[in-house]
Structure 1
Amino acid sequence: MPDDIVRHLSASLAGFEIIIVPGLDGSARHHWQSNWQRFFRAGGISVGRVRQEIWSKPDYESWIATLTAAVKKSKKPVLLVGHSLGSLLIAHAAKEGLLPDTVAGALLVAPADVENGPEGERFRVAAFSPVPLSPLPFPSVVVGSRNDPWLSVARARTFARHWGAFFVDAGRKGHIGNQCDLGYWLDGLLFLDRLVQNIRIKETGLRQPHKKTLQ
């Protein structure tokens, strides 16, 4: 990891706690979420992780409860970093009003379109349907891939519009998950940094042209 990126992220994220929210089947050791967790911890950035009891058989009520419990433990403003069903879980929890005001923002990567995903997998996520389309009460960024079997770009844009989120096209990255060898996924770190800058703008009401973001 380049030193300038490490320094920038350490400063940008210093006031937050990052909470990693994996999706269906969890995030393996080589998943970018797991790499980020190790990277943040090594850099002295506060980071936690939602740990569901059974990753392969998601239970809506228990997953929601585990997420909200993890968030409520934090003493700092929280940045949620969701992937797939984890991203959708965040949207559901927000719609139900279960997330505390300490949530400052969310990076929602490849939110699983449980209504239109792979036919052979829809039964496992049926309890998470329909996709909530209520505005999120915090700044957010939706990241979509052009060849994601779980989420078309059109639907990703629809989600972002309804959630009041910025949409980012990640290119052709599949489902941006366990099957993709993304390493530390530097583009994703850029998206996270962009989210932080959006939060700063919301807090101050002013753009900050002097504040550098990752390039």
Structure 2
Amino acid sequence: MTETDSENGERAGSLEIDVDDRDGSLYRVLSSAVVPRPIAWVSTRSEDGIDNLAPYSFFTVASVEPPVLLFAPVDGADGLKDTPRNARDTGEFVVNLVTEEFADAMNETSATLPAGESEFDRADLERADSSAVDPPRVAGAKVAFECTLHDLVDVGGSTLVLGEVRHVHLEESVTSDGKIDVDEIEAVGRLAGSLYARTEDRFSLERPP
């Protein structure tokens, strides 16, 4: 890592990171710079019937046709964590949207629990039956995507979990004329460390032709 001054001298300098020469991972750099990140609050059910719920902020849309969502858990010391393992074993999961009223509960479900314990119970969250898959939704979640497993892809120390959306649950409060009204979704985004962001401050830019 080196500090270099700009040619015009107007800037104090910059930090340059040569990844090949760096000790340790780029997790802090990546998670601090790629912000804000949406949060996939993923519910699964194990083959033993235990309901798991965990947040993942490495999350995005992978494809529109077919509709595929992607989240990327970092592997645990012993391999797959509960969520990707359940998705692999059962072929199903639900991505619940994290809005501000669920921020504390979402954080509570990030705790490391034994495989036989449910984060729903730890966070005192109510389950809601899904329509197309077996794992439950988070009751009260304004948006939930019920998915079947499309693929698992190993990428270094992470596993990409791709799920094809089979059913979408939308609370009436976030819709207008049968469509999602983005002004009504108070989603929470992940920054770095213990910091999060609200999406209530918005502005509009028209895309050029």
Do both proteins adopt the same fold according to a TM-score greater than 0.5, normalized to the shorter chain? no
Which structure has the highest strand share of the two?
A: 2
Which structure has the highest helix share of the two?
A: 1
TM-score by length of 1: 0.27
TM-score by length of 2: 0.27
Structure 1 or 2, whichever has the larger Rg, is: 2
